[in-house]
Chain A
């Protein structure tokens, strides 16, 4: 639910350009301090985990329009810096198939990597507290998804004026949507109230469906991590856990 599924042309230009700029800036900072050798060795694993995330996102649970992100698992296995690049790559590939617009890739990268990094950090923290995989994995996933869903809603809310402009846009207004901000605002103020974007409704839908999704993904992540712990505990690099 935290993945922004908005198509191109819906978010305002300043918002998605800022998303790209921020994502590029974070990547530049993260990889400036990484050794080339480290990256070269981890590339195939990064590719595989990113591919798993792509496949996870392709499995849509139709009744609630939800798909698992597998970002928390990838975050745990890849670590915080590689998960950022992995989410960037995943979002580019998903955008190529219309799963979220190409212009939303930067924002999606920030939201999803926040989920992955937070998942990684929370998992380590809860492992230290509980020393048991089930509560650590479930709570880390649930909380990471909760935060990233709010980040997604916040991002979508930033573009409300633009959606309203799209709804109220008149056919005779020209082929391209270049209008001065002031004129757009005046035009919107003149419109009746009933035609506004219902952000509260969007939030209600996103949070209620999201809640089912967080629980589902929390359970899935826990079960997958338990499976990995049984067969390849070395991959989880857990402190004080003897295989």
Chain B
């Protein structure tokens, strides 16, 4: 999650051919890729899809550090090793599905600024939902800054130590409590500034016509 701001930086500052493509084209592409993940049920097909995605990743010159984000969902896939009764083919199938899904989405977000993504979504989804999605995504960045400060404070107060589990748990809970309260304060300030800028329940993006 810490790499989220790096992802955003790559989306805004990148100059590759994939960065220059319209957001709608990339979103349709990601949609097709997800359809492939849902319906492909054989290893060569998924391997082919993953190869194409890796090729796009390399040619779009997305920073390599972001690649680790595509591997993160594998943590959750490990349970399938036990569920399947150690069937290698099934495990590989699941791992490839996970990798194809995450790579296509990370590729989309690393080459498209998030307001552009939300602008396209706003045309097809209810404004209530898109506004909530936009504010949450924005709030993640605000909270990440607070989390960074809180981590320093937590470290100074002992952080997490296995030899003192209770004290560590209290420290972590206080850090989350602090994060929530800071977040609520920030949300109140954010609401005031949004109202000052004319917010009436729907976020409007640059170039969008007022149809109300």
Using a CB–CB distance below 8 Å, which chain A residues touch chain B?
A: 5, 7-10, 13, 27, 31, 36, 39-41, 43-52, 54-56, 58, 60, 62, 65, 68, 70, 73, 77, 85-86, 88-90, 92-93, 96-103, 163, 166-167, 169, 171, 173-178, 194-199, 201-202, 205, 216, 219-220, 223-224, 227-228, 231-232, 235
- Per-residue 0/1 for B80-102: is the Cβ within 8 Å of any A Cβ (1 yes, 0 no)? 00111101011001100110011
- B97 & A97 in contact (Cβ 8 Å cutoff): no
Of the candidates A10, A43, A177, which one forms a contact with B131 in the assembled complex, judged by CB atoms under 8 Å apart?
A43
**Complex contacts, A27 vs chain B, CB 8 Å:** 129
- Nearest chain B CB to A57's CB is how many angstroms away? 9
Whether B102 contacts A166 by the Cβ 8 Å rule is: no
Asked if A9 and B40 sit within 8 Å, CB to CB, the answer is yes
- Within the assembled complex, what's the spacing in Å between the Cα atoms of A178 and B82? 26
- 20 residue pairs A–B, Cβ–Cβ below 8 Å: A5-B77, A7-B94, A9-B97, A10-B94, A47-B135, A48-B139, A50-B139, A52-B180, A55-B140, A55-B179, A60-B75, A88-B129, A89-B136, A93-B133, A97-B72, A166-B41, A198-B83, A220-B169, A223-B173, A232-B184
Contacts of B94 in A (CB 8 A): 7, 10
Binds A, one of B14-22, B50-58, B193-201, B204-212: B193-201
Contact between A167 and B87, CB atoms less than 8 A apart: yes
Chain B, Cβ-Cβ closest to A37:
B201
Contact A176 B128, beta carbon cutoff 8 Å? no
Q: What 18 new A-B contacts, CB under 8 Å, besides A44-B135, A97-B102, A220-B172?
A: A7-B77, A27-B129, A47-B138, A48-B139, A51-B183, A54-B136, A55-B140, A65-B79, A86-B132, A97-B1, A97-B69, A166-B41, A169-B42, A171-B44, A175-B40, A177-B42, A195-B85, A201-B82
B128 touches A39 (CB 8 A): yes
Using CB atoms, name the residue of chain B closest to A100: B76
Structural contact, A223 and B174, CB atoms closer than 8 A? yes
Whether the pair A54, B135 counts as a contact (CB closer than 8 A) is no
Residue numbers in A under 8 Å from B89 (CB-CB): 167
Cross-chain contact A48 with B143 (CB below 8 angstroms): yes
Q: 4 tightest A-B contacts by CB?
A: A98-B73, A47-B135, A227-B177, A223-B173
Contact A44 B194 (CB under 8 A): yes
Secondary structure type dominating chain A contacts: helix
Say whether B177 contacts A99, CB under 8 Å.
no
In the assembly, what is the distance between CA of A55 and CA of B178, in Å? 13
Shortest distance from the beta carbon of A8 to any chain B beta carbon, whole Å: 4
Contact across chains for B76 and A47 when beta carbons are under 8 A apart = no
B193 to chain A minimum Cβ distance, whole angstroms, is 10
CA distance A56 to B172 in the complex (A): 11
> What is the interface residue range for chain B against chain A?
35 or more
A60 CA to B2 CA in the complex, in Å?
13
Is B76 within 8 A of A99, CB to CB? yes
- CB-CB under 8 A from A90, the residues of chain B are 136
Asked whether, in the complex, the Cβ of A167 is within 8 Å of the Cβ of B76, the reply is: no
Main secondary structure of the interface of B (DSSP, over half): helix
Q: B101's contact among A7, A31, A46, by CB below 8 Å, is which?
A: A7
Taking a contact as CB atoms under 8 Å apart, the answer to whether A228 and B75 are in contact is no
Given known A7-B37, A51-B139, contact A98–B98 (CB-CB < 8 A) = yes
A163 touching B179, Cβ below 8 Å: no
Residues on B with C-beta less than 8 A from A50 are 132, 136, 139
A175 touches B180 (CB 8 A): no
As a 0/1 sequence over residues 147 to 185 of chain B, the CB contacts with chain A under 8 angstroms (1 = contact) are 100000000000000000000011011101111110110
Q: Least Cβ distance of B203 to chain A in Å?
A: 9
Residues from chain A with a CB closer than 8 A to the CB of B78 are: 65
B34 and A8 form a contact (CB under 8 A) = yes
Q: Does B186 contact A (CB under 8 A)?
A: yes
Contact indicator B109/A54 (Cβ below 8 Å): no
**Chain B residues in 8 Å Cβ range of A102:** 34, 101, 105
Hey, which chain A residues are within 8 Å of B176, CB to CB? 52, 56, 68, 70, 220, 224
Select which of A58, A89, A205 is within 8 A of B79 by beta carbon.
A205
Residues of B within 8 A of A8 (CB): 34, 37-38, 97, 101
Tell me whether A92 and B133 are in contact (CB under 8 A): yes
Question: B111 to chain A: closest CB distance in Å?
Answer: 14
